[in-house]
Structure 1
Amino acid sequence: MDTLYTALLILILIGIAGLGWFSFVLYKKQRRNSEKVIREVYKASNEIKKSISHSYYQSEAYAQLIQLLDFKASLPATRGWAASPDLLLTIYETVKKINPSLVVELGSGVSTLVAAKSGARKVVSLDGSKEYAAKTRELIKEHRVRGVDVRFAALLPYVNGLTWYDVSVIKDLKKIDLLIVDGPPGNNNPESRYPALKEFKDKLSPRAVVILDDVNREGERKLAEDFAAALPNHELTILNHEKGAAIISPR
């Protein structure tokens, strides 16, 4: 009988120990899960704060543009695929500062209108889409702006497996005072905009300024850095824009 009681006691103790261990393991797991949830909530909270901050700043920039430029018609949507208000405001400020004779833009849209209305004497805007090129021409017409040449430039095979604008469309361009690089779309290949350096470096005037959008992306950031390195009398400034922007300007 004593042996039976002893065996039962041992089994009970083992059960208690097992239950304790199970509870401990469960507690550790729950704690890890709780810590993970807390980290995820903290991360999400920071992202929300960042998004709210960007939205507020974009609203401010948009309001300034409306006040600064006498638009003759409504504007299409900004942000997303289109240029964000912070970039548009930077284009406005740059045009006002350097008074460019020729602005060349890769990727047409509201930015084309802003560059023209800010005082650029001539704006040449390339677009790889016939549809978007036509929409930009209509936008320019609605706002009764002159001195804008929107060119459809088909995206053709380029070196190293890239596709880029038909280079025959830019043969006549030279002495560019402001180059805006916001195309072609860079979501499929991080180097999709890199040909701009080779094709435009020797077409820039000595006082030229280069603006690049989307430099929060690795490919565009590298392009900005390499562009600046290719222009030894210029310096690179990274702007804290929604999508990241770079300005390469004379020292």
Structure 2
Amino acid sequence: MPLLLNSLTFLLLLYSLYKLRNAHLLLFDMRDQARSDNASLFRQLEALQGLYAELDLKSSLPPTRDWAASPDFLLEVARHARSARPACVVECSSGVSTLVLARCMQLNGAGSVISLEHDPHYAEKTRLQLRLHGLQDWAQVLDAPLRPHTLSGESWPWYTIAALPAELSIDLLVIDGPPQATRAQARYPAGPLLFPRLAPEARIFLDDAARSDELAIVQRWQQEFPALQLSSRVCEKGCAVLLNAS
């Protein structure tokens, strides 16, 4: 009987040590995650401050969390737009990025932004924000509902582009839509439908480029458009930049 009690006590001690070790590991993981989250938040605050300084904004931007582009991505796009001075910017999806790009055009004194937006309510919200910031003359938001496009033998729900000017020559293309939930590799159609309209030396900025879908999309684009040269920027959600070197 004493031997059995000793054995049970020893097993209970081992179990307690096992649980204590797991608790310590969990605490270490929580500490590391908290440090990572704080570093990420600090980076976004730095980028947002840089964005306000870069654009000399007097009024606040709408929120840049959840579905909106992150401040670091917006800052990368703004810096390129300010230095490259594109004459024609096209966006897939509208929102905070529309305001940022329109402000870049205003500061440059030339250029225009065309945003494709499938959600009428969201399109109107972006137009209202443009008016509130006095940027309505530098950007237009097109109602572009998602319609089936047959590409590579598949059907893709993607923006209606009939309203785009026929002779459009795109200097900067920013891709942040349509939503991932519409189908797998939802942003792929931007390649076959818009890349032929790219001007020489045009740039493509793809948000959420760290996701597996976007990684696969970029590979498909490079196979179908060999002249594209790929680079990347360190951003919260990933940022792929493609140069039209043709």
TM-score (norm 1): 0.84
Question: CA 1:173–1:24 in structure 2 vs 1: closer, same or farther (change >3 Å)?
Answer: farther
Q: Which residue of 1 aligns with 2:57?
A: 71
> Is 1:51 the counterpart of 2:37 in the alignment?
yes
Name which of 12, 36, 47 aligns with 1:61.
47
C-alpha contact 1:225 1:236 (8 A) present in aligned 2: no
Aligned length: 237
Q: Which residue of 2 aligns with 1:199?
A: 193
Q: Which residue of 1 aligns with 2:77?
A: 91
Name which of 130, 138, 149 aligns with 2:128.
138
Q: Which residue of 1 aligns with 2:27?
A: 41
> Is 1:108 the counterpart of 2:94 in the alignment?
yes
Aligned counterparts of 2:100 and 2:80: Cα–Cα separation in 1 = 11
Question: CA 1:35–1:170 in structure 2 vs 1: closer, same or farther (change >3 Å)?
Answer: farther
Q: Which residue of 2 aligns with 1:80?
A: 66
Question: CA 1:239–1:32 in structure 2 vs 1: closer, same or farther (change >3 Å)?
Answer: farther
Aligned counterparts of 1:128 and 1:154: Cα–Cα separation in 2 = 4
Q: Select the structure of larger CA radius of gyration.
A: 1
Deviation string 1:89-113 (CA, Å, 9 cap, x unpaired) is: 0111111222111111011111111
Q: Which secondary structure does the structure 2 equivalent of 1:199 belong to? A: helix
C-alpha contact 1:176 1:205 (8 A) present in aligned 2: yes
> Is 1:152 the counterpart of 2:138 in the alignment?
no
| TM superposition shift of 1:163 | 2.2
Question: CA 1:75–1:36 in structure 2 vs 1: closer, same or farther (change >3 Å)?
Answer: same
Aligned counterparts of 2:192 and 2:12: Cα–Cα separation in 1 = 61
Greater relative CO, 1 or 2 (CA 8 Å, sep 6+): 2
Q: Which secondary structure does the structure 1 equivalent of 2:162 belong to? A: helix
Query: Gapped runs of 5+ residues in structure 2?
Result: none
| TM superposition shift of 1:164 | 1.6
Name which of 177, 184, 197 aligns with 1:183.
177
Aligned counterparts of 2:122 and 2:219: Cα–Cα separation in 1 = 29
| 2:33 counterpart letter in structure 1 | E
Q: Which secondary structure does the structure 1 equivalent of 2:86 belong to? A: coil
Deviation string 1:151-200 (CA, Å, 9 cap, x unpaired) is: 11112234546422124344636321111010111146441112112211
Question: CA 1:95–1:216 in structure 2 vs 1: closer, same or farther (change >3 Å)?
Answer: same
| 1:81 counterpart letter in structure 2 | W
Aligned counterparts of 1:198 and 1:26: Cα–Cα separation in 2 = 65
Return 234-243 or 126-135, whichever deviates more: 234-243
Q: Which secondary structure does the structure 2 equivalent of 1:118 belong to? A: helix
| 2:123 counterpart letter in structure 1 | A
> Is 1:245 the counterpart of 2:231 in the alignment?
no
> Is 1:213 the counterpart of 2:207 in the alignment?
yes
Among all aligned residue pairs of Structure 1 and Structure 2, give the percentage whose two residues are the same amino acid. 32
Question: CA 1:195–1:234 in structure 2 vs 1: closer, same or farther (change >3 Å)?
Answer: closer
Q: Which residue of 1 aligns with 2:218?
A: 224
Aligned counterparts of 1:93 and 1:152: Cα–Cα separation in 2 = 27
| TM superposition shift of 1:127 | 0.9
Q: Which residue of 2 aligns with 1:9?
A: none
Q: Which residue of 2 aligns with 1:128?
A: 118
C-alpha contact 2:87 2:112 (8 A) present in aligned 1: yes
Aligned counterparts of 2:156 and 2:14: Cα–Cα separation in 1 = 51
C-alpha contact 2:91 2:114 (8 A) present in aligned 1: yes
TM-score (norm 2): 0.86
Q: Which residue of 2 aligns with 1:6?
A: none
Q: Which secondary structure does the structure 2 equivalent of 1:249 belong to? A: strand
| TM superposition shift of 1:236 | 1.6
Deviation string 1:107-151 (CA, Å, 9 cap, x unpaired) is: 111111111211360110011111111111111111112231111
